[in-house]
Amino acid sequence: MEKTRLRIAVQKKGRLADDTFALLKATGLTIKENKGGLFYRIKNLPIDLLLVRDDDIPGFVFDGVADLGIVGANVYEEYALKNDNQRRAQCIQKLGFSHCNLCLALPNTEGYADLNDFNDKTIATSYPNILQTYFKKGGISASTLEMHGSVEVAPKLGIADAICDIVSSGATLEANGLQNVKTIFSSQALLLKTTKDLSTEKKDTITKLLSRFEGVRQSKETKYIMMNAPRSALPALTKLLPGAEAPTVMHLEGQKDSIAIHAVCRESVFWETMESLKTAGASSILVLPIEKMLA
Ligand code: ATP
Ligand code: ZN
């Protein structure tokens, strides 16, 4: 195993891949693509990307085939439970993208009262371990039929009474005459780390990467806000600024009683906030995105 270059397992293509590459690019990594290859080399940091199917990522990270991995919590959890929690890589960060839910769905023609309705039923799913763990907690006894792909057709084919699958917009369920009755697991992309020992070089690269991920996350939410106001309005305006530390106050040339206020707001700035600022005396309010942040 390579001693100095950090290896990160990522989904080769699919619903997690685009957002993963977008995050890595926003983190400043210059990716040298090698179409059809197993690895992409990062030019400006000692990192290689290992391109695989998402289902292989938790195992590769646990075994140390990759040092880090980016995968959906659904896939991570299913793999860990399938292996009796004996092969669970460490999850070191929730990445805040690829949000989706694992849901139980029944044919529209069926009524639904509560979870007990699933007793003695057969449920088609790609996540039998997450589902059985959930049922066990709720005291439900049901069979699972493991399927990979097109789970939603199982009730129509008469091989299952219900399904448990990833839902985002609900369009697939609707197209197949199914109704979502219960969310059993909420997922988002996770950053996994191997439990194997890593070299100092690799640890340093991970520290740098984590700080950059955090910077990307913060800069998405953080805005730079500027406005003019009468000096007397400053205390009221400061109170209204969402998540801002001490604002910068500057005098405006030729205007004795007016000031300019600049602040970094760590929470989203909504139209309502801008309207309140205006009511409190501010004018020429500008809200700007922040491209990069390093605390
Ligand atoms: P692979 O070929 O790598 O095995 P796959 O077909 O199993 O891919 P995808 O459909 O690409 O998987 O989904 C990958 C992951 O993206 C899912 O495990 C889930 O975490 C997340 N995901 C799935 N559907 C959605 C969605 N509609 N919106 C957001 N994230 C989703
Ligand atoms: Zn997969």
Q: Whole-structure pTM over 0.75, yes or no?
A: yes
Q: Is the CB of 126 under 6 A from ligand 1?
A: no
Question: Do strands 100-107 and 178-187 pair parallel, antiparallel, or not at all (unpaired)?
Answer: antiparallel
Here the CATH number for the domain that contains residue 111 is: 3.40.190.10
Measured CA to CA, the distance from residue 255 to residue 182 in angstroms comes to 61
| pLDDT score at 288 | 94
Measured CA to CA, the distance from residue 80 to residue 16 in angstroms comes to 19
Total number of domains in the chain: 3
Q: Is the CB of 52 under 6 A from ligand 1?
A: no
In the chain, % of residues over pLDDT 70: 100
Least confident residue range of 108-112, 176-180, 266-270? 266-270
Residues 6+ apart with CB under 8 A from 157: none
Identify the residue whose C-alpha is closest to ligand 1 atom 17.
72
Q: Which of 54, 79, 103 to mutate to test the pocket of ligand 1 (most atoms within 8 A of CB)?
A: 54
Ligand 1 atom nearest 169 alpha carbon: 27
**82 in the same domain as 157:** no
Residue 2 has pLDDT above 80, yes or no: no
**92 in the same domain as 24:** yes
Residues 6+ apart with CB under 8 A from 209: 6, 27, 45, 47, 68
Tokens of 281: 């005396």
Measured CA to CA, the distance from residue 221 to residue 204 in angstroms comes to 26
For 142-189, the pLDDT digits (tens) are 999 999 999 999 999 999 999 999 997 889 999 999 999 999 999 999
**268 in the same domain as 159:** no
pLDDT band at 245 (very low <50, low <70, confident <90, very high): confident
Identify the residue whose C-alpha is closest to ligand 1 atom 11.
14
**272 in the same domain as 244:** yes
Measured CA to CA, the distance from residue 281 to residue 274 in angstroms comes to 11
Q: Is the CB of 53 under 6 A from ligand 1?
A: yes
Identify the residue whose C-alpha is closest to ligand 1 atom 23.
15
**49 in the same domain as 61:** yes
| Span from the CA of 49 to the centroid of ligand 2 (angstroms) | 18
Q: Is the CB of 239 under 6 A from ligand 1?
A: no
Residues 6+ apart with CB under 8 A from 25: 31
| Span from the CA of 73 to the centroid of ligand 2 (angstroms) | 12
**111 in the same domain as 51:** no
**89 in the same domain as 10:** yes
Residue 163 or residue 245, greater confidence? 163
Identify the residue whose C-alpha is closest to ligand 1 atom 2.
53
DSSP, residue by residue, the chain: --SSSEEEEEESSSTTHHHHHHHHHHTT--EE--TT-SEEEESSSSEEEEEE-GGGHHHHHHHTSSSEEEEEHHHHHHHHHHTTTSS-PEEEEE---S-EEEEEEEETTS---SGGGGTT-EEEES-HHHHHHHHHHTT---EEEE-SS-GGGHHHHTS-SEEEEEESSSHHHHHTTEEEEEEEEEE-EEEEE-SS---HHHHHHHHHHHHHHHHHHHHHH-EEEEEEEEGGGHHHHHHHSTTB-SPEEEEETTEEEEEEEEEEESS---HHHHHHHHHTT-EEEEEEE------
**203 in the same domain as 92:** yes
| pLDDT score at 191 | 98
**Which ligand is nearest the CA of 71, by number?**
1
Ligand 1 atom nearest 187 alpha carbon: 20
Q: Is the CB of 71 under 6 A from ligand 1?
A: no
| Arithmetic mean of pLDDT over the chain | 94
**133 in the same domain as 91:** no
Identify the residue whose C-alpha is closest to ligand 1 atom 13.
15
Segment 120-125 mean pLDDT: 98
Q: Is the CB of 166 under 6 A from ligand 1?
A: yes
Measured CA to CA, the distance from residue 207 to residue 139 in angstroms comes to 43
Measured CA to CA, the distance from residue 257 to residue 231 in angstroms comes to 6
- Cβ atoms within 10 A of the Cβ of 131, count? 24
**204 in the same domain as 93:** yes
**200 in the same domain as 280:** no
Q: Is the CB of 100 under 6 A from ligand 1?
A: yes
Task: Evaluate whether residue 274 is within a structural domain.
Answer: yes
| Span from the CA of 71 to the centroid of ligand 1 (angstroms) | 9
Task: Evaluate whether residue 295 is within a structural domain.
Answer: no
| pLDDT score at 18 | 94
**Host domain of residue 268:** 222-289
**162 in the same domain as 114:** yes
pLDDT band at 103 (very low <50, low <70, confident <90, very high): very high
Residue 200 has pLDDT above 80, yes or no: yes
- Cβ atoms within 10 A of the Cβ of 198, count? 19
Task: Evaluate whether residue 294 is within a structural domain.
Answer: no
Please identify, among 219, 241, 261, the residue that sits at the C-terminal boundary of a domain: 219
Identify the residue whose C-alpha is closest to ligand 1 atom 1.
53
Q: Is the CB of 18 under 6 A from ligand 1?
A: no
For 20-56, the pLDDT digits (tens) are 999 999 999 999 999 889 999 999 999 999 999 999 9
